[in-house]
Amino acid sequence: MITGGCLCGAVQYRLTGPLGDIVHCHCETCRKTHSSAFSSVAAVADEDFQILSGVENLRYFESSPGKLRWFCQACGSHIYAKRAGTAHLILRLGSLDNASLTADNTPCERSHIWVSQQANWYRGDAELPVYDEFEPVTDG
């Protein structure tokens, strides 16, 4: 079972269902939030995400109207984001426990998005598709 948590260990979670494909988001909001070149994220259905401990440590920042970014108040690790009216959350993959990942439960990297706002000093990744903003919506 996939597990994860924050840097200080107060917030621990587990997934009882699958993780969606991995997307690396370069939007300015993600860069500033994580203070890094990009944020690696994947979708998890609400019912498949279970906080095991530290829920009292979770705080949020509303980075755009209706979008809450949840983090540990003690260590600052961002855990997930949630947009109002959706049935899934966007997990911050840096919080995953490597030891819980196997060949069977680890999703594949799909793309880099919002590269129109990419850090000037980031030299890019030639192996994955890149999109100026969100991935184009496709059927299915």
Question: Minimum distance between the CB of residue 33 and Zn ion, rounded to whole angstroms?
Answer: 8
User: Total number of residues binding Zn ion (CB under 5 A)?
Assistant: 9
Point out which span in 58-66, 67-75, 78-86, 116-124 binds Zn ion (CB under 5 A): 67-75
CA separation, residue 110 to residues 51, 56, 61, 113, 139 (Å): 26, 33, 27, 10, 16
Task: Name which of 36 and 105 has its Cβ closer to Zn ion.
Answer: 36
* Residues 6-65 contacting Zn ion, CB under 5 A: 6, 8, 10, 25, 27, 30
Q: Quick one: CA dihedral 8, 58, 68, 18, positive or negative?
A: positive
User: Please, what is the minimum distance in Å from the beta carbon of residue 27 to Zn ion?
Assistant: 3
CB of residue 58 to Zn ion, shortest distance in Å: 9
Binding mask 74-113 for Zn ion (x = CB under 5 A): xx--------------------------------------
Concatenated DSSP letters of 13-38: EEESS----EEEE--HHHHHHHTSS-
CB-CB contact of 90 with 43 (8 Å): yes
Looking at the Cβ atoms of 10 and 22, the one nearer to Zn ion is 10
72 interacts with Zn ion by CB under 5 A: yes
Whole-angstrom CA distances from 133 to 26, 32, 100 are 9, 17, 31
By CB under 5 A, name the binding residues for Zn ion: 6, 8, 10, 25, 27, 30, 72, 74-75
